[in-house]
Amino acid sequence: MAGIYVHIPFCKSKCSYCDFTSFPDKLCFAESYMACVYREMSFRRKELKDYSFDTLYIGGGTPSVIDESYIGMLIASARKNFNLAKNAEITIELNPGTVTADKIDFYKKCGVNRFSVGLQSAIDSQLEDIGRMHTAADFLECARLLKGENFNADVLIGLKGQTAADVLYTIDFAAEAGASHISMYALTPEDGTPIYTDYLNGELPDADEVAALYQAGFNRLKELGFIRYEVSNFCKRGKESRHNLNYWRRGEYIGFGVSASSCIKNVRFTNTFDLDEYFKCIFTEHLPVINSEEVDEEGQKFEYIMLALRTAEGLDAHEYKKLFGVDFFEEHKAALKKVGRYLDTEGDSVKIKDEYLFVQNSIIIEFLEN
């Protein structure tokens, strides 16, 4: 199992918490950019000829701001260069207010079968506060267009002044509108983003408050029949994002476009974050990779544990042994002794107990070798 990620670094405006590579003022370069992405795919064709991919994820930025025909060509190019399974999961990120019925129809025609909508909050004042361009009503319109489709709604917790009631309202709103998948993220104020100032000024809810919001959201999602399959991801039965599960299972993936990262044969590498640099590389027939690091076995093991323990499914000691040739329980005896009481262990399966999933770092680092 392997995945393809494509980064579309354009958007209408930058949200105040956004730490992704995205250029609200460079939409005019979309055509050249996409041509470069197709070209970049062809550079990798030979290298990846033996791979079969079963997910394609088009993220950003806001992929829905560029003309839908580019998305069509993108998917065609992916199919032309790689073995992308017939029933591949193909996801595109959308923002409410950037789509029309025609656009969605076209996406569907091209094979897109999963959508991820940036709702964030169903309260307009909060949306405005974080610099979102849309309203709650725009989301409803978008959801209407996606009726019957498999779609995710992103929900942020930890917004300025946000109460548990606000979170519940937003979750109900998304579920009612037909979302089959809800990603509930805690806002992470990154240095350099506008919201970081709010964070420094102490205007954002503190860790305890965020934990309470999360707990409230978690309970409601459970009531609504959403299953938590990863710390921040909830879905109706069978609607897990296969693309993201691949990350958490330490699967291989290849990324295209600025800032995209990849992990192929235990080498992690990242493309340049600079748009001009990206163009320059592609036009001179170079890979736009800026750093590349081979993950040693110890690193692989830790990544495996760190990622697996994020998921509700947890870690499979049988697979661990298959991958690394050692017994998980034997190798991590000391760590297990220390944090065993926060884990549920059943046969080969090891997972963090529900009530500790939100304090998982302290547990996971015990598995890190000195």
Distance of alpha carbon 314 from alpha carbon 317, whole angstroms = 10
**Does 163 interact with other proteins (rule: CB under 8 A)?**
no
Report the residue from 85, 137, 200, 207 that binds other proteins according to the rule CB under 8 A.
Answer: 207
**Does 244 interact with other proteins (rule: CB under 8 A)?**
yes
**Does 329 interact with other proteins (rule: CB under 8 A)?**
no
Report the residue from 23, 29, 324, 356 that binds other proteins according to the rule CB under 8 A.
Answer: 356
* SS3 state at 217: helix
**Does 115 interact with other proteins (rule: CB under 8 A)?**
no
Q: How many residues does the chain have?
A: 370
Give yes or no for a contact between 361 and 334, defined as CB atoms under 8 angstroms apart. Answer: no
**Does 62 interact with other proteins (rule: CB under 8 A)?**
no
Q: In a 10 Å sphere around its CB, with 0-12 CB exposed, 13-18 middle and 19+ buried, how is residue 276 labelled?
A: exposed
**Does 85 interact with other proteins (rule: CB under 8 A)?**
no
Report the residue from 29, 51, 247, 329 that binds other proteins according to the rule CB under 8 A.
Answer: 247
**Does 239 interact with other proteins (rule: CB under 8 A)?**
no
Tokens of 196: 């970081």
Q: What are phi and psi of 327, to 5 degrees?
A: -80, 120
Q: In a 10 Å sphere around its CB, with 0-12 CB exposed, 13-18 middle and 19+ buried, how is residue 147 labelled?
A: exposed
Shortest distance in whole angstroms from residue 259 CB to other proteins: 7
**Does 90 interact with other proteins (rule: CB under 8 A)?**
no
**Does 260 interact with other proteins (rule: CB under 8 A)?**
yes
Options 39-47, 97-105, 111-119, 301-309: segment touching other proteins (CB under 8 A): 301-309
User: In terms of DSSP bridges, do strands 267-271 and 289-294 run parallel, antiparallel, or are they unpaired?
Assistant: antiparallel
Options 32-40, 138-146, 274-282, 353-361: segment touching other proteins (CB under 8 A): 353-361
Identity of the amino acid at 366: E
**Does 187 interact with other proteins (rule: CB under 8 A)?**
yes
For 307, left (φ over 0), alpha (ψ -120 to 50), or beta? alpha
**Does 242 interact with other proteins (rule: CB under 8 A)?**
no
Please say which residue, 5 or 151, places its beta carbon nearer to other proteins: 5
H-assigned helices in the chain: 30-44, 68-81, 101-110, 124-129, 136-145, 164-176, 195-200, 207-223, 242-248, 275-283, 297-308, 317-324, 328-331, 333-339, 360-364
DSSP H helix total and E strand total for the chain? 15, 15
Beta bridge partners of 56: 4, 90
Shortest distance in whole angstroms from residue 141 CB to other proteins: 27
* Percent of residues in the chain assigned helix, strand, coil, to nearest 5: 45, 25, 35
Report the residue from 133, 212, 264, 312 that binds other proteins according to the rule CB under 8 A.
Answer: 212
Please say which residue, 61 or 97, places its beta carbon nearer to other proteins: 61
**Does 214 interact with other proteins (rule: CB under 8 A)?**
yes
CB neighbours of 369 closer than 8 A, spacing ≥ 6? 298, 302
**Does 232 interact with other proteins (rule: CB under 8 A)?**
yes
Shortest distance in whole angstroms from residue 261 CB to other proteins: 4
Shortest distance in whole angstroms from residue 251 CB to other proteins: 10
Report the residue from 170, 180, 259, 272 that binds other proteins according to the rule CB under 8 A.
Answer: 259
**Does 229 interact with other proteins (rule: CB under 8 A)?**
no
Number of residues that bind other proteins (CB under 8 A): 46
**Does 308 interact with other proteins (rule: CB under 8 A)?**
no
Distance of alpha carbon 92 from alpha carbon 107, whole angstroms = 9
| Residues contributing to the site for other proteins (CB under 8 A) | 5, 185-188, 207-208, 210-212, 214, 231-232, 244, 247-248, 253, 255, 259-263, 268, 270, 293, 299, 302-303, 306-307, 310, 339, 342, 356-365, 368, 370
